[in-house]
């Protein structure tokens, strides 16, 4: 189980590996990474990231059968700029599990993370709730890892057109001239959110921002709506019995509401992901979300946003009947104190 740095020539094998490693739950999903496995790593890590792989043993699996990624991120930690190493993309082909690959990859990732940010900086990863295999490995291999937060991914159904809220806020699409005001608001609010990026901009196709302004023209909040189809596709691999029945009801009603059907297993999910949510209060975020749902009705089935379960902004989701999926935020190293506000985590970058 020797780990090496991935090369561009590994792209096809890594895309196939990602497709072979679904996330199982009520809604079981596989994150396909066509046509470029490394595209998401480049976005997440800027210029400082690495992917480690383990090759097969020449019995028909000559390419990578396991991988992990590490990216350096510049974030706010206790209100001050800091460097963080994010560990993600831990994937082991089902046919090669329980042979020590995950342990070898984690050891490589920790060493690589230390090279990127130094011996004292924090390393962070997220683990989907119910992933007992990773929990067992963590307890044995890195018992000093601590749980920092629970990020809840809220999937909001777009079956019906949401009624726009009665509010004094004006919501519209962002324009290039809005960049300075967006940056100022981010730099005002982000230091109060642990691990929030120093800069909110994500440079990618398929990304639009919605802005909310007060009557006096002051910017109250914004969020990005990202169509990630060009770099990441969510393929459904299965439904629980409960969600399977909900899918049938949704698809019966979808022609009446003129919205895309929920796909059968094997099909691709039509969705948008919220990125860089930034709002002064839950009411502002709720207005932005309702306008987003109104705008996206008929284009896709779901709008997804991830927030720390302790975040006051989660009140914006009240009554929206969002389907929750939890992931644990685990941290190794860095400051021992865990106060300093809710954790900010971009689920779009996973």
CATH code where residue 21 lies: 3.40.630.30
Q: Using pLDDT thresholds of 50, 70 and 90, give the confidence band for residue 58.
A: low
Whether 228 and 339 share a structural domain: yes
Kindly list the distances between the CA atom of residue 58 and the CA atoms of 71, 267, 284, 291, in Å, as whole numbers in the listed order.
30, 32, 56, 54
Token pair 């929030």 in the structure block, residue? 196
On whether both 77 and 136 belong to a single domain, the answer is yes
Model pTM score: 0.91
Work out whether strand 49-55 and strand 27-32 pair parallel, antiparallel, or are unpaired.
unpaired
CA separation for the pair 149, 158 (Å, rounded): 28
For 268, the domain range is: 154-232+256-349
d(CA 209, CA 285): 13
Per the structure, the count of domains in the chain is 2
294 vs 156, 159, 171, 172, 336, CA distance in Å?
A: 12, 10, 12, 12, 43
Each residue of 278-292: pLDDT tens digit? Answer: 999 999 999 999 999
Q: Tell whether 14 is covered by a domain.
A: yes
Helix count (H) and strand count (E) of the chain? 7, 14
Shared-domain flag, residues 59 and 161: no
The last residue of one of the domains, among 134, 149, 164, is 149
- pLDDT for res 335: 78
Tokens at 250, concatenated: 């949704």
Strand bridging mode 302-308 / 271-279:
parallel
Residue 246 covered by a domain: no
pLDDT band at 14 (very low <50, low <70, confident <90, very high): very high
Compute how many other C-beta atoms are within 10 angstroms of the C-beta atom of residue 216.
Answer: 6
- Are the C-beta atoms of 52 and 4 separated by less than 8 Å? yes
Across the range 302-319, mean pLDDT stands at: 96
Residue 69 lies in a domain: yes
Please check whether residues 225 and 320 belong to one and the same domain. Answer: yes
Q: Indicate the SS3 state at residue 157.
A: strand
Residue-level pLDDT at 228: 93
Tell me: pLDDT of 107 over 90.
yes
- Is 56 in the same domain as 129? yes
Tokens of 308: 């720390």
Instruction: Look at residue 202 in the predicted model and tell me its pLDDT.
Output: 72
Name the percent of the chain in helix, strand, coil, to the closest 5. Answer: 30, 35, 35
Checking if the pLDDT of 185 tops 70, the result is yes
The Cβ of residue 57 has, within 10 Å, a number of other Cβ atoms equal to: 12
Do residue 208 and residue 260 come from a single domain? Answer: yes
Q: Is residue 243 part of a domain?
A: no
Cα atoms in the 13 Å half-sphere on the side-chain side of 97: 12
Query: Would you call the peptide bond into 32 cis, given omega within 30 degrees of 0 as the criterion?
Result: no
Helices assigned H by DSSP within the chain = 11-19, 39-45, 101-117, 132-141, 179-189, 241-257, 282-296
Q: Which of residues 101, 132, 149 is at a domain's end?
A: 149
Please say if the pLDDT value at position 306 is more than 90.
yes
Residue 190 shares a structural domain with residue 94: no
Q: What is the pLDDT of residue 138?
A: 66
**Cα 149–323–43 angle (5° rounding)?**
60
Judge whether 18 and 91 are in contact, CB under 8 Å: yes
Q: Is residue 11 part of a domain?
A: yes
Task: List, as one string, the DSSP characters of 170-212.
Answer: EEEE--GGGHHHHHHHHHHHGGGSBT-BS------TTEEEEEE
Measured CA to CA, the distance from residue 25 to residue 237 in angstroms comes to: 10
Question: Are 160 and 273 contained in the same domain?
Answer: yes
The DSSP letter of residue 310 is: T
Is the per-residue pLDDT at 59 higher than 60? no
Average pLDDT over residues 123-143: 74
Widest CA span in the chain? 68
Residue 87 parent element (H or E): strand 80-92
* Domain contains 228: yes
Mark whether 273 and 224 lie in a shared domain: yes
Q: Are residues 177 and 114 in the same domain?
A: no
Residues 114 and 171 grouped into a single domain = no
Same domain, 158 and 144: no
Give yes or no for residue 39 having a pLDDT over 90.
Answer: yes
């Amino acid at each position: 189980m020797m780990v090496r740095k991935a090369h561009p020539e590994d792209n096809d094998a890594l895309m196939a590996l990602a497709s072979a490693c679904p996330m199982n739950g009520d809604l079981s999903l596989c994150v396909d990474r066509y046509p470029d496995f490394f595209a998401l790593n480049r976005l997440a890590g800027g210029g400082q990231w690495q992917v480690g792989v383990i090759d097969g043993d020449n019995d028909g699996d000559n390419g990578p059968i396991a991988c992990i990624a590490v990216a350096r991120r510049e974030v706010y930690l206790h209100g001050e700029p800091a460097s963080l190493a994010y560990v993600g993309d831990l994937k082991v082909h089902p046919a090669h599990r329980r042979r020590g690959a995950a342990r070898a990859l984690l050891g490589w990732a920790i060493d690589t993370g230390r090279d990127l940010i130094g011996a004292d900086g924090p390393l962070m990863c997220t683990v989907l709730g119910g992933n007992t295999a990773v929990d067992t490995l963590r307890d044995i291999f890195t018992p000093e890892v601590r749980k920092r937060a629970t990020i809840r991914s809220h999937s909001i159904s777009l079956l019906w057109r949401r009624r726009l809220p009665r509010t004094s806020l004006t919501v519209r699409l962002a324009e290039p001239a809005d960049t300075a005001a967006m940056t100022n608001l981010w730099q005002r609010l982000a230091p109060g959110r642990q691990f929030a990026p120093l800069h909110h901009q994500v440079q990618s196709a398929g990304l639009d921002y919605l802005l909310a302004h007060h009557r006096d023209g002051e910017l109250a909040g914004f969020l990005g709506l990202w169509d990630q189809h060009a770099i990441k596709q969510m393929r459904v691999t299965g439904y629980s019995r409960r969600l399977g029945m909900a899918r049938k009801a949704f698809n019966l009603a979808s022609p009446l509401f003129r919205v895309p059907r929920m796909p059968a297993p094997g099909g691709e999910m039509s969705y948008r992901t919220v990125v860089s949510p930034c709002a002064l209060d839950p009411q502002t975020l709720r207005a932005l979300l309702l306008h987003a749902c109104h705008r996206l009705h008929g284009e896709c089935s779901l709008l997804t946003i991830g927030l720390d379960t302790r975040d006051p902004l989660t009140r914006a989701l009240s009554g929206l009947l969002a389907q929750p999926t939890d992931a644990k935020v685990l941290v190794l190293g860095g400051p021992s104190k865990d106060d300093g506000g809710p954790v900010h985590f971009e689920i779009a970058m996973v």
